[in-house]
Every structure is written in structure tokens, then in C-alpha cells.
């Protein structure tokens, strides 16, 4: 993508920029300028040629091109190194490969489509082309491996804040890694880690947000439990603006964690969750029981109080939790 030319056009906003000025700035001929303009048009940029005045950037494509992300990004370091692919197997897998090759802290892996997106407990994640935000963040933190799972809670707070602010909705967090809107799944989060000898090599936080996925795009088995942001928002959501907001929130929270630990993040998580105070059904390997979600502990584990008053701590990695009410109380 022609970053310099796009930057020049953006700097003039609604005013024409002459081919002569562009040629001078880029050190190329006016013919070369024209050719580069045509390339941008083919990728979806709306560039108008005003007779005897120059070119105006009228619109951008509905793509999550790195150039479009950078133009809206307000972070200090997160997302400044972007690996963009039109289509990919999994953004988490790409991010892990890049991590092993020495990619820097804060690298963003971004795609229009995941062929085999990954969810928690080896479940798949449906990621249709151009219909959502499918991305992964690479982190190289200084905290201990046992803290890594709480990055899921951090990501959930960052995303729900951005979604509610940008779209004007009231999404909430369902423990441990989903964000719900009108009771249906809007966002999924998957955190993976590489560590050894008490040291984290890297953490990859994968996030999938359904922005404009139509019901007919969703596999039948997920249709009743999934929702798209544009189906609820009053105005069409810009994917690039939403992603920039998520990254900005994430960076602020992450830097706070590095200085103060996870306690402030856990408190924010409690503010945005729809799980606490609700009756839930816990399906564990050796038992299934009903209880009330009381709180999360300092490790981010869900504390569930059973009918007999005893309390259990539920691990995020080995038990699914469903709303007891959603099951019609048929156990």
C-alpha cells in the first residue's frame, strides 16, 4: 500500500492536492503519480480528480488495511508493528510464529478472514471475510506465567469499553472470555502462552468481534446464540475505528497492570460483567451442579456458591458455564 501518498492526501482533507505537489513530495514524475493513484483506486480508495486542481481522498475501502489502522491509532507502542493478511488460517497461529521469529512486543496480527479460527477448549471460531475484526496481539510481559490467564479478563474489559463507547450499546462480559449483547455472543477471546522456568516467552491474545455478520452467514448451530454489532447499533460501525479504540484501551490497562498488578483490571471486570449474581450451571468433568456466581478471586477464577452454601472455584480452562435460566431449569 502507498503509505506516503495516502498520508499526503489525508493531510489535505477536503482540499485538492495537485499532481505537481505530490510529484515534488515523492520525488517522482506526474505520470508515476497518476499510476499510483490508479493502484489505490483498484484497492477501494475513492479518489476524485478535480480538473486543474488535483486529487481529493473522498473515501476509504471497508478493509482493515494497516494504513487505515495507523491513521486512527493513538497508542504509544501497541499495534505499531502490524502483520496484515487478506486470509489466514488463524491470527493466533500467525502471531505465535512471528513471536518465535523475534517479533516485537505489541505486534498486531490482523486479517479479513480466518479459515480455521480458534476458540476456547479447542472449539472453532467462525470468521467470515470482511464481516468482523479478527486479530491477535503479541505481548512479552515481565509478570509471572500464573498471571497470564488474566490477560483474557483485561482484553474483555478493553473490548467491552470500546464497543459500548463506539456503538452506544450495553454489552457485558460473560465469564471467562465472552462478550454478550442482548444475551447473545458478540465477542470471543482466546489467550495462549509460551513459558518456561517461571518466565513468559510470549502471550498471544486473540480477539474476534462480530461487526456485520448477517444471520445467514452464521452456521445453523450458532445462529440463535450469535449477534452482530451492526444489527443493534444505530449507525454503521467503522471496523478501523473500533479496532483503534480497543487497542488504545488495551494499552492503558496493560501498562497499568505492569505497574500495579491486575487488581484494578479485576475491579473493572466486575463492573462490566453480567455473570456475577446470576444462577449458573457448571458442567465439570466429574459433576454437574447449579449455583450462584458470587465473585472472581484474585486469580480470576469464578467463585460459585452451591445450594448447600459451600463454595467452589471454577477454572476457566476446563469447565463451560451456562446460564441456568437459559436451560429452562431442566437439569
Report the pLDDT value the prediction gives residue 223, as an integer from 0 to 100: 72
* Interstrand relation of 199-210 and 279-283 (parallel, antiparallel or unpaired): unpaired
How far apart are alpha carbons 307 and 279 in whole angstroms? 10
Backbone angles phi, psi at 212, to 5 degrees: -140, 35
How far apart are alpha carbons 280 and 311 in whole angstroms? 13
Q: How many CA atoms lie within 13 A of 138 on its CB side?
A: 28
Number of Cβ atoms within 10 Å of the Cβ of 168: 12
Nearest Cα residue to 137 out of 204, 210, 201: 204
Nearest Cα residue to 290 out of 277, 305, 309: 305
Report the pLDDT value the prediction gives residue 328, as an integer from 0 to 100: 41
Please report the sign of the dihedral spanned by the C-alpha atoms of residue 221, residue 225, residue 229, residue 234.
positive
Report the pLDDT value the prediction gives residue 330, as an integer from 0 to 100: 37
Whose cell is 508515476? That residue is 32
Q: Which contiguous run of DSSP H or E holds residue 126?
A: strand 124-127
C-alpha cell at 154: 483485561
How far from 179 is each of 78, 157, 298, 328, CA to CA, in Å? 22, 9, 21, 22
Helix axes 30-42, 19-26, angle to 10 degrees: 100
Asked if 232 and 169 touch (Cβ cutoff 8 Å), the reply is yes
- Using alpha carbons only, give the angle 12, 15, 18 rounded to the nearest 5 degrees: 85
Q: Please report, in tens digits, the pLDDT of each residue of the chain (331 residues total).
A: 566 888 888 888 778 999 899 999 899 998 999 999 999 998 889 999 998 889 999 988 888 999 899 989 999 999 999 999 999 989 999 999 999 999 999 999 999 998 865 544 445 556 778 889 999 999 999 999 999 999 999 999 999 999 999 999 999 999 888 999 998 999 999 999 999 989 999 999 999 999 988 777 777 776 777 899 998 988 899 999 999 999 999 999 999 999 999 999 999 999 999 999 988 888 777 788 889 999 999 999 999 999 999 999 987 544 555 554 444 433 3
Longest alpha-carbon distance in the chain: 82
How far apart are alpha carbons 264 and 183 in whole angstroms? 26
Backbone angles phi, psi at 30, to 5 degrees: -65, -30
Structural domains in the chain? Answer: 3-59 (1.10.10.10), 66-272 (3.30.930.10), 279-327 (2.30.30.100)
* Residues 6+ away with beta carbon under 8 Å from 3: 67
Q: How many CA atoms lie within 13 A of 68 on its CB side?
A: 20
The strand pairing partners of 312, in sequence order, are: 304
* Residues 6+ away with beta carbon under 8 Å from 6: 40, 45, 57, 67, 71
Number of Cβ atoms within 10 Å of the Cβ of 158: 26
Report the pLDDT value the prediction gives residue 158, as an integer from 0 to 100: 98
Nearest Cα residue to 112 out of 166, 65, 68, 160: 65
pTM of the predicted protein model: 0.86
Nearest Cα residue to 189 out of 175, 201, 200, 202: 175
Amino acid at each position: 500500500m502507498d503509505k506516503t501518498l495516502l498520508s499526503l492526501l489525508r493531510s489535505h482533507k477536503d482540499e485538492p492536492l495537485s499532481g505537481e505537489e505530490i510529484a515534488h513530495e515523492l520525488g517522482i514524475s506526474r505520470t508515476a503519480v497518476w499510476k499510483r493513484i490508479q493502484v489505490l483506486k483498484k484497492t477501494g480508495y475513492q479518489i476524485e480528480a478535480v480538473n486543474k486542481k488535483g486529487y481529493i481522498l473522498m473515501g476509504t475501502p471497508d478493509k482493515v488495511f494497516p494504513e487505515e489502522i495507523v491513521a486512527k491509532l493513538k497508542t504509544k507502542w501497541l499495534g505499531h508493528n502490524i502483520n496484515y493478511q487478506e486470509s489466514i488460517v488463524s491470527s493466533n497461529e500467525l502471531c505465535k510464529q512471528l513471536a518465535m521469529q523475534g517479533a516485537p512486543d505489541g505486534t498486531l496480527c490482523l486479517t479479513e478472514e480466518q479459515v480455521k479460527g480458534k476458540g476456547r477448549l479447542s472449539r472453532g471460531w467462525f470468521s467470515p471475510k470482511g464481516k468482523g475484526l479478527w486479530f491477535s496481539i503479541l505481548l512479552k510481559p515481565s509478570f509471572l506465567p500464573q498471571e497470564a490467564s488474566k490477560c483474557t479478563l483485561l482484553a474483555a474489559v478493553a473490548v467491552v469499553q470500546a464497543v459500548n463507547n463506539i456503538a452506544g450499546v450495553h454489552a457485558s462480559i460473560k465469564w471467562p472470555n465472552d462478550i454478550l449483547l442482548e444475551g447473545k455472543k458478540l465477542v470471543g477471546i482466546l489467550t495462549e502462552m509460551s513459558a518456561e522456568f517461571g518466565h513468559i516467552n510470549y502471550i498471544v491474545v486473540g480477539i474476534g468481534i462480530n461487526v456485520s455478520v448477517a444471520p445467514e452467514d452464521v452456521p445453523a448451530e450458532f445462529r440463535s446464540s450469535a449477534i452482530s454489532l451492526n444489527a443493534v447499533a444505530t449507525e454503521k460501525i467503522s471496523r478501523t475505528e473500533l479496532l483503534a479504540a480497543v487497542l488504545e484501551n488495551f494499552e492503558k490497562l496493560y501498562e497499568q497492570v505492569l505497574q500495579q498488578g491486575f487488581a484494578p483490571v479485576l475491579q473493572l471486570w466486575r463492573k462490566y460483567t453480567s455473570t456475577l449474581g446470576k444462577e449458573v450451571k457448571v458442567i465439570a468433568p466429574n459433576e454437574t451442579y447449579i449455583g450462584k456466581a458470587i465473585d472472581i478471586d484474585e486469580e480470576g477464577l469464578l467463585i460459585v456458591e452451591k445450594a448447600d452454601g459451600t463454595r467452589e472455584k471454577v477454572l476457566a480452562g476446563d469447565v463451560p458455564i451456562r446460564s441456568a435460566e437459559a436451560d429452562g431449569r431442566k437439569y
